[in-house]
């Protein structure tokens, strides 16, 4: 089955710096790669996603890149702000969106 | 407002009791899921459903069971709760696009 590995488990940055979180997946049939943000005590919410026919996607300060050959994808957050502090989960799913499998999560701290 | 609702939000119960965690969504999604998560930790898929009368076990072994008699309703049941079942249970639903919409979770404590 699909396995998703995520690094680092904890990331601390200064406000205004960039943050990068990396994930690798095992199932080459996976074609949908979402990123979820979970603030303390809240539910996970989608912040950005990418499909396998696209190499990069950007939404304001957030971008995601995908390397299908190497089976890895990354989340980039620029100009970090304290409200970006949260746990971020990458995920992968096979066609149709069934059985989304999550990485272990990255706890991001943005210091003011 | 279209959303996904879970009850109870918090439950403290004694060992051996039967519990049912309720999950309902008003978004018309066919697919529904249960994830188990210790706060801020990994999300483990324990059950999923493609539609009415369809249920499958996820990748994390669980002693819980689920049913899907109506599209909007996907309850999870533990016949005999144990302290090892203490965790947060997150229900989610989706279209074929893949984006998951999560409920606020049910935090279960078994004494």
Please, which pLDDT band fits residue A94 given cuts at 50, 70 and 90?
Answer: confident
- pLDDT value at residue A82: 96
Angle at B105 between CA B107 and CA A2, to 5 degrees: 110
Residues 6+ apart with CB under 8 A from B59: A1, A99, A101, B44, B45
Inter-chain residue contact B96 with A99, CB threshold 8 Å: no
Alpha-carbon distance B81 to nearest alpha carbon in chain A (angstroms): 24
Q: Which residues of B touch A89 (CB under 8 A)?
A: 43
pLDDT tier, B40 (very low <50, low <70, confident <90, very high otherwise): confident
What pLDDT is attached to residue A97? Answer: 53
**Residues A99, B56: Cα–Cα separation, whole Å:** 10
B7 phi, psi to nearest 5 deg: -140, 145
Is the per-residue pLDDT at B67 higher than 80? Answer: yes
Output the pLDDT for position B96. Answer: 76
Of the listed ranges B10-14, B55-59, B70-74, the least confidently predicted one is: B55-59
Distance from CA of A106 to the nearest CA of B (A): 9
Residues of A with CB under 8 A from a CB of B: 1, 32, 34, 36, 38, 40-46, 49, 87, 89, 93, 96-105, 107
Q: Looking at the predicted structure, is the pLDDT value of residue B27 above 70? A: yes
The residue that leads in pLDDT, A27 or B98, is A27
Mean pLDDT, chain B, whole residue set = 93
- Check residue A98 and give its pLDDT: 66
Task: Kindly tell me the burial class for residue B65, based on how many C-beta atoms sit within 10 Å of its own C-beta (0-12, 13-18, 19 or more).
Answer: middle
Higher local confidence (pLDDT), B105 or A95: B105
pLDDT(A53) > 90? no
Q: Which of B74, B26, B19, B22 is nearest to B47 (CA)?
A: B74
B5 has a pLDDT exceeding 80: yes
- CA-CA distances (angstroms) from residue B79 to A46, A83, B14, B66? 33, 41, 12, 11
CA angle A50, A56, A57 (to 5 degrees): 65
Whether the pLDDT of residue A96 is over 70: the answer is no
């Amino acid at each position: 089955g699909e396995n998703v590995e995520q690094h680092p488990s904890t990331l601390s940055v200064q406000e205004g710096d960039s943050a990068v979180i990396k994930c690798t997946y095992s199932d080459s049939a996976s074609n949908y790669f979402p990123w979820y943000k979970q603030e303390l005590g809240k539910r996970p919410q989608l912040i950005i996603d990418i499909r396998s026919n696209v190499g990069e996607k950007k939404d304001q300060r957030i971008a995601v890149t995908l390397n299908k050959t190497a089976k890895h994808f990354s989340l980039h957050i620029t100009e970090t702000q304290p409200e970006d502090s949260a746990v971020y989960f990458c995920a992968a799913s096979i066609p149709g969106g069934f059985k989304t499998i999550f990485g272990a999560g990255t706890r991001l701290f943005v210091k003011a | 407002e279209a959303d996904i609702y879970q009850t109870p939000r918090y439950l403290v119960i004694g060992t051996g009791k039967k519990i049912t965690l309720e999950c309902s969504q008003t978004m018309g999604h066919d697919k529904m899921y249960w994830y188990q998560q210790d706060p801020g930790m990994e999300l483990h898929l324990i059950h999923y459903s493609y539609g009415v009368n369809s249920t499958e076990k996820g990748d994390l072994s669980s002693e819980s069971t689920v049913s899907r008699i109506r599209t909007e309703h996907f309850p999870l049941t533990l016949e005999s709760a144990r302290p090892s079942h203490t965790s947060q249970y997150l229900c989610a639903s989706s279209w074929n696009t893949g984006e998951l919409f999560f409920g606020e979770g049910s935090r279960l404590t078994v004494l």
